[in-house]
Structure 1
């Protein structure tokens, strides 16, 4: 298998850091879009997939989701995914860089505060009723018109529309997953800080002690508070993130098991292999073989 491809922002003549594509049927009919692929891939930018009608499936980090009408899927930089659309599909792809979203505030963490981005422990999918979905489609229509007009405050207006769109999605997402009580919990922000820190440091730092020190807590308290909010201990969340990255390396690179262990800062490759098998039921080599056979069918 070829190593996984990583795509930069699509290049347009204007080098626009926010772009919107309408999709009809199986393919994206736009010469500026960087790829059409039947292989899993990833991006260096954020992507929002808006499914209006039709069917298909969407694989995100080794989990397959059926595409439903009136749904939105959110992809963060580095996530591995593949969309398979049917002929009756109609939808939109919205892509933007982290710099575009946070330009006015110089605060990249704004994107980490959205529940559906940068968090591999949550399902990044929102299914809506026709009314709420229609409201979001109206915002997409406004974005599309602004992209055509290109007035004096073009980027600022687009950024504002995008922020309203994502905040509306956050509101629906919180309602859908019934997290209002947890968001009112004094430890919710702490769990969010922890998960953001894990996303940034997991390759180098495996111990709960490191994250506890950073957050001025004991490891026992950090485990307790994180489990209260997520249902999983801090230690298990760190391991889950390491296993996800190991899976990505196994399928989408030609690194050996030993090299993957070193990439993830395991000095003992056999220890890494034991952890991987304990969590997945397969050795790293068995997992690689099974996934390769899956995509060769």
Structure 2
């Protein structure tokens, strides 16, 4: 047999080349390991600290008081903030990309976190769907409140079209006369660059307050999950820690945007009424319906049926 034929068919030569490629790949991955290890350690430390903070009874019982303080005293900051700040512009990137899609960001990140946590804790599709249904019910509540508020605003308000002032009395401080349009809704009125006057409730503060309270409720069980994984001598997955960290960042962003809206665009009492409705929605869901038994159609509270009863009331230690 011709030895060249065996060499060309890839025998020992191909094995040598494969070993060289494997050694080369191992050499290239060594610097990456040195970078990944400190990042994993930092992620573990930060998520453990945030889990302990959000899981504490002080935060869970009194977080709504913090939001109430922001709603009441936030407009007072309008006396000190600058009108020339970048946050005084309604077309700012944060307002356009995040404020207008508050529920979308909350639903995506919180739903991903719940799905991954429930499946890693029990590996039960039924339990995962059951806990995910809380996000769906909260979404239906948001949708219903926004449409109901829109109908009430259209019924209680009126559209006015400014007309030119009298040329013989050019007083720039006088309020211009307005021509009433009774067949306009608020959306069509503002789209036509006319003025809408009437009673309204801030839907932005409603969504921001409800999303903040929802995030605190759903993120508070991560400490119990860490405690259970430690008892089982397992380590939570890195994607779960990353999702938890992103949800906490989203919580801080919603609180920052709420403070910016109250300070730069104060509207009393519209914003306070919106925050009150958001609080009542959270109270009705998490403090009312979700505490009932499943026969009432309740999906249960966060963490229900996921952890052992022995550790359900124990403060997480990690």
TM range, smaller chain: under 0.3
TM-score by length of 1: 0.21
Flag the structure with larger Rg: 2
Query: Relative to total residues, which structure has the larger helix share, 1 or 2?
Result: 2
Query: Relative to total residues, which structure has the larger strand share, 1 or 2?
Result: 1
TM-score by length of 2: 0.20
